[in-house]
Structure 1
Amino acid sequence: MRAHYFQHVEFEGLGSIEAWLQNAGYEITSTQFFDSGALPKIEDVDFLVVMGGPMSAKDEKEYPWLAKEKEFIRAAIESKKPVLGICLGAQLIADSMGGEVFPNSVKEIGWFPVQAVESASASVFQFPKEVEVFHWHSETFSLPEGAVQLAKSHGCVNQAFQIGGNVIGIQFHLETTPASAQSIVENCRDELIEGEYIQSEAEILSAPQERYLSINSLMGDVLEHLHANNG
């Protein structure tokens, strides 16, 4: 099995997702849009992961590769491949499938809770009733046609969604490790201005190890849910 991930900036890699994919037996390959941006053949991909990044899903003039990336995402979804989108990745899935991406009313940066949106369907992933997770986003999205809302928060209505059994988009970062949190802070600390849902650098980086282990475990549950729908 081959897992392929789209990486938009050097400082937002797979985090805890990498170890999970390796343990599940996947060969891991990547497209690094900040470098060559070479896309694989879609038939060679068994699991697609779309990572985050500071650009907007709408920034096609500045980043022309976004158009081809969204075409690939849509083709992967229509081919019934398991697809996971994280933050910008979730926004790219939403945009690819007919949703709208736009600025959220507030920026969410730091550790804040999200609440599950319950579903009676066994095929829909169930988040915990409430869980504290890591955020770093200023935009949000409307749900594409046929998408099921999975999570919400006080600062942002659409935090996660599922399309069919094979696609999940998550606005927040469950893959974050202490090292990746440090990396995003170092590269994006100019965004840490005063705001209702913006924590300070010290608050972000003082999170206990147990919090990272909790979100990484939940990331594993999401990946397992998608893996179970892989062919």
Structure 2
Amino acid sequence: MKRSDRLYALMRRLKDGHLHTAEAMAQDLGVSIRTIYRDMDTLATSGVPVEGARGSGYTARAMITLPPLNLTHKELEALHIGLAAVGEADTDDLAQAARALADKIDAVLPEDAGAPSARFGFATYPFAEAAQGFRHMPAFRKAIRARQKLRLQLEDETTMHTVRPLHLDYWGRIWTCVVWDETDEAFATFRMDRVADLTPLPGLFVDEAGKTLRDFHALQS
């Protein structure tokens, strides 16, 4: 398993809000406890809201507070995606303004003792490639609203998947999509930055038992 994939797997586990020990995560992923400690440090440096310490376990926060505002998770998503997108723009003055705004937000973000600081809105290694997923998000969001099937291909794969897009999710600067994969006849969760090609198809879809977002959530509970 590549390190970036392992870090993503750890992020998904921490997202449930429960406390997870390094020993249990190391055993499940087949790595050493020391590796998990290093991974937790990397996630924190990359801006993932990790809480915990060696010997006690780890979890992740669901909200970040900016005095005097309380930001919901969706509001934080909007800030991040906007700053990250504009920060990569070809227009120098807008890119500079986005980075200046990120610095101002950094200045008022709460700091946890001992936690390395991370620039808000601009992912650091190993998630710098996450911005690549932005290029497909408008088409994916439109397909969710229209209930339109998509054909997509992931990086490092030759298989083309015909999918029913169900949901976009965001966690720790990584965007993921939940789909019903008609090719594999199963639910799947893809990282948006791993989508190499995405094409809307003329066919629409309707809810079918066992293939809805509610069914997906039921399987996760």
* TM-score, length-scaled by structure 1: 0.28
User: Higher relative contact order at CA 8 Å, sep ≥6: structure 1 or structure 2?
Assistant: 1
* TM-score, length-scaled by structure 2: 0.29
| Structure of larger gyration radius | 2
